[in-house]
Amino acid sequence: MLLFFYDLTMLIKRLSCQKSINFSEPDERLLGILKSEITEFDENLQNSSWFTQFYYGCLLFSMMNGNFLPEACSKFFAPNMDFSHEVANRRSREKLIKGVSHEYKAILLWNILTGNDVVSETRQKISQKIKEMLSADSLAEMYNIAQELESMYINEEQRFGIMEIDGKEKDFAFAEWSLRGYTADVLGDTNSHKFLTRKLSFLERCPRGTLFCDKFNHWMTFLGCNAENMYFYDSKLHGRLRKIEKNYVASIVISVLMNK
């Protein structure tokens, strides 16, 4: 039931968005892309590197992976960092310590780029905990503090794509605010196979490096198509590219961000 209301809310936002691309009545942006060739996946990208997230920040890291942000931003992070869980669904002590530090750097950089503080009410406490962790006398003590920080991120951190403006939450995925001159293009609802097919043709032809946002509010960086699949840098994965069947991509993507 909650998922139904969530989908309904997203549909209303998409229909009311002024920048929505309408697949039933193609506009210039749609027609321009449809005139292009399908973006082919470059097999050489299989061995490329990209930036990953700890908990949140898929929009930030996808923008870095798609070269939307100054190169200086990427110097704060190492590529392909592995924050995955170990056996018995627990992260190693080292991964957790690196992960909470990585998250804090992402929070600070996002605040510099957008003025949006995703931990505004707990920023001072988190900052103090980071200092305590880095100056701790033992790995065990660092790990205990890292666990506290992990809990704080889960409970307090807002999604990076959400910004409060005039007391209301605005979503970047629905073009409700812009970042460094970039605004998302919201994809209009597709009620028929004909329009879904046109939407797929549009997505297949988006330039390499375009960001796709799905209905679960996760951003990924598009790398191109190969047969019936699309490939992405997914900041949730550290060791392999994300390969997704084209029709499924077309059914879940709600907006795109092109590097114009």
Q: Are residues 104 and 29 in the same domain?
A: no
pLDDT tens for 237-256 read: 999 999 999 999 999 999 99
Q: How many domains does the chain have?
A: 2
Domain boundary among 105, 133, 165: 165
Angle formed by the axes of helices 93-114 and 58-65, nearest 10°: 80
Question: What residues contact residue 210 under an 8 Å CB cut-off, 6+ apart?
Answer: 66, 221, 222, 256, 257, 258, 259
Q: Are residues 20 and 42 in the same domain?
A: yes
Residue 39 lies in a domain: yes
Residue 64 lies in a domain: no
Q: Are residues 36 and 106 in the same domain?
A: no
Q: How much is the average pLDDT of 64-72?
A: 96
- Selected residue with higher pLDDT from 12 and 235: 235
pLDDT tens for 205-215 read: 999 999 999 99
Confidence tier at 30 by pLDDT (50, 70, 90): confident
The structure's pTM equals 0.91
**Residue-range definition of the domain harbouring residue 82:** 70-165
Q: Are residues 84 and 138 in the same domain?
A: yes
Q: Are residues 160 and 186 in the same domain?
A: no
Domain boundary among 165, 199, 233: 165
Q: Are residues 97 and 19 in the same domain?
A: no
Q: Are residues 90 and 119 in the same domain?
A: yes
Q: Are residues 161 and 98 in the same domain?
A: yes
Residue 145 lies in a domain: yes
Q: How much is the average pLDDT of 223-234?
A: 97
Residue 57 lies in a domain: no
Residue 244 lies in a domain: yes
Q: Are residues 110 and 26 in the same domain?
A: no
Residue 53 lies in a domain: no
Q: Which two three-digit tokens encode residue 199?
A: 């939407």
Q: How much is the average pLDDT of 76-88?
A: 90
Domain boundary among 109, 144, 165: 165
pLDDT tens for 151-188 read: 999 988 888 999 999 989 999 999 999 999 999 999 98
Q: Which amino acid is at 189?
A: D
Q: Are residues 34 and 105 in the same domain?
A: no
Q: Are residues 80 and 161 in the same domain?
A: yes
Residue 136 lies in a domain: yes
pLDDT more than 70, % of the chain: 92
Give, in degrees to the nearest 5, the angle at Cα 115 between 113 and 117. Answer: 110
pLDDT tens for 115-141 read: 999 998 899 999 999 999 999 999 999
pLDDT tens for 185-206 read: 999 877 778 889 999 999 999 9
Q: Are residues 97 and 158 in the same domain?
A: yes
Nearest to 159 by CA among 147, 148, 168, 172: 172
CA distances from 102 to 61, 98, 216, 227, 247 (A): 12, 6, 23, 36, 34
Confidence tier at 85 by pLDDT (50, 70, 90): confident
Residue 60 lies in a domain: no
Angle formed by the axes of helices 93-114 and 123-134, nearest 10°: 140
